[in-house]
Amino acid sequence: MSVMFKVAEVQAFLRWMERKFSLNLLAEKAKKRFVKRGQVYKCELGVGIGHEMQKERPCVIIQNNIGNFKSGNTIVAPITHDDSQYPFLVPVTVQKNGSGSIILDGQVNVSNIRCVSKARLGDYVATLPVQDLKNVEVAVAKSLDLMVHYNELEKKLQDKLDFMDKIKKERNEAQDFVKKLKEIAEVPTNEELEKTIRSKLTEE
C-alpha cells in the first residue's frame, strides 16, 4: 500500500512537470496580462511539498498594481474552504452570480502567500469587497510580523491628531474668552464706529 502511494505521488509530480512546461510556454504572453489587486482568479498551484497548498484553487491578488502592470509575476493568497478559526484565515463575503449560484466563498489563507507567474492564472472569479481586502491586509501584516511597525505609525498619527484637537480646543476657548471680554467692555463693532464717525462729521 505504501509503495502504491509513492507511485501515485511520482505520477502526480510527473503530470505536474508536464503541465509546468506548458505553462512556461505561455509565460511571455501572460506577462502582458493586467490583473488588479483584490481580484480573484483561478490559479494552478500545482503539486505541493509537505503541507503547501496545491492544485487549482481561487487566489486573490495582493501585489500592488504597479507590480501587476510591469511584472510577469504577481503575488497571491489562496482561498480555502477550511472552516478553522486562525488569525491567518480571513473569511470572504459570499458572492453569487446572476442565477444565484455561489461563485466565491471560503477563507483567504495568508500563511500561504505565493509569488506566481501570471501564466498560472486562469479565469477571473470575482473581486473582493473593500472591507474584505482590508481584513486581508491586516492578516498579512500579522502573519509577517509587521504589526509592530504599523502600531508605531498608528501611535504617532494618533499623537498628532490628539495634539491638533488640543490646539483646536485652546483656540476655541481663546475665541470664547475674547468674545466675553468684548461683551463686558461693550466694544462697538466696526459698523457702529463708522456710523458714529459719520454722524459726528455730519454735525460738524
pLDDT digit string, tens, across residues 5-18? 688 888 888 888 88
pTM: 0.70
Give the pLDDT score at 187. 56
**pLDDT at residue 96, as a whole number:** 93
Angle 147-185/130-143 helices, nearest 10 degrees?
120
Of residues 156 and 150, more confidence is placed in 156
Q: What pLDDT sits at residue 155?
A: 86
At residue 154, the pLDDT reads 84
Beta bridge partners of 39: 127
**pLDDT tens per residue across span 39-62:** 999 999 988 888 888 899 999 999
Cα 20 to Cα 136: distance, rounded to the nearest angstrom: 29
Range from 21-30, 74-83, 84-93, 140-149 carrying the lowest mean pLDDT: 140-149
Residue ranges per structural domain of the chain: 2-145, 153-203
Given a cut of 70, whether residue 3 has pLDDT beyond it is no
Which stretch of 112-116, 150-154, 189-193 has the lowest confidence by average pLDDT? 189-193
Mean pLDDT of 89-108: 94
Burial of 90 (0-12, 13-18, 19+ CB in 10 A): buried
* Contact partners, residue 43, CB within 8 Å, separation at least 6: 56, 57, 58, 59, 76, 78, 116, 120, 121, 122
Mean pLDDT of 60-88: 94
Higher local confidence (pLDDT), 199 or 62: 62
* pLDDT band with cut points at 50, 70 and 90 for residue 186: low
Class of domain 2-145: mainly beta
Q: What is the DSSP letter of 187?
A: P
